[in-house]
Amino acid sequence: MQIEDKVVVVTGGASGIGKALCERFAIEGAGAVIVSDIDQSGIDATVKDISSKTTAVGIICDVAKEEEIENLANNTLEQFGHIDLFCSNAGIFTAGGETVSTGNWQRIWEINVMSHVFAARSVLPSMLERGQGYLLNTSSAAGLLNQVGSAPYSTTKHAAIGFAEWLSITYGNRGIKVSVLCPQAVRTNMTAGGDGGVAGLDGMLEPEQLADTVIETLNEERFLVLPHPEVLTYMRRKTDDYDRWLGGMRRLHERFAKVYKQREISSD
């Protein structure tokens, strides 16, 4: 997909990866960029930043609520007639293991997984009617590998990739393209004040660097968007010898256990 003249929706567009995507899509000549988030002031700032380059519209949306994603999609369709690319990007991190409260498990599940389901329900009918459309779902390298220190994050990101795979398998022959963004550490609010922990071992990228990889992958219409190319090597090691890989991950767990324990305490 070439972004020029396309109508693009981005959730989580007020900051971090989402904001960088909005800015890059505008530079690439998108016909319209719809900036969505729960942060109205952040939405306004992103819209202001890109409005000289493209038609920019801000729509507030809590992705954990299906009716708000439906509203986001319907408002976009009413204004522009179609959606070419929907970037389901918003997500959260919760430190801890199986003892994380059920309420926090449910919250991260709704935001990191169900938001992608809600997005698909909202935009696929019009895309399938046109016979074309693109879904870019933000997951994480944690969804391909794992996340030391966070069972909720790892579990939900694995589920997000599984759902994206299913969408591609089910609708790929009907004109629907699907890609899943799987970075390691990125300098965003999620990693503020730290070095990214385990995910930062291969370096922390700026959101703008991720946007470069996204554009490249969309152009080639590949499924995996891997800003950290090392992730592909780790995936191969994992599938080549699962038990050896698990042993290596246990060693990483021991190395970073104190760091993530502190994050768990801080989030309580």
- 192 occurs within a structural domain: yes
What is the amino acid identity at position 200? G
pLDDT at 255: 82
pLDDT at 167: 98
More confidently predicted of 110 and 195? 110
- 1 occurs within a structural domain: no
**Would you list the DSSP string of 81-131?**
S--SEEEE-------B-TTS-HHHHHHHHIIIIIHHHHHHHHHHHHHHHHT
Roughly how many angstroms between the first and final C-alpha of the chain, as a whole number?
43
More confidently predicted of 166 and 197? 166
Model's pTM, two decimal places? 0.91
* 140-149, 167-176, 178-187: range with lowest mean pLDDT: 178-187
CA angle 7, 141, 259 (to 5 degrees): 125
223-239 tens-digit pLDDT: 999 999 999 999 999 99
pLDDT at 188: 60
The yes-or-no verdict on residue 39 having pLDDT over 80 is yes
Q: Which two tokens stand for residue 64?
A: 């954990």
- 106 occurs within a structural domain: yes
- 2 occurs within a structural domain: no
What is the amino acid identity at position 250? R
Per-residue burial over 99-119, b = 16 or more CB atoms within 10 Å of its CB, e = otherwise: ebeeebbebbbbbbbbbbbbb
Q: Are 6 and 31 in contact (CB under 8 A)?
A: yes
The yes-or-no verdict on residue 193 having pLDDT over 50 is no
CATH of the domain at 78: 3.40.50.720
Q: Considering only CA atoms, which of 82, 87, 119 is closest in space to residue 7? A: 82
Q: Show the domain range for 162.
A: 7-267
- 81 occurs within a structural domain: yes
Q: What does the mean pLDDT of the chain come to?
A: 92
Number of domains in the chain: 1
- 190 occurs within a structural domain: yes
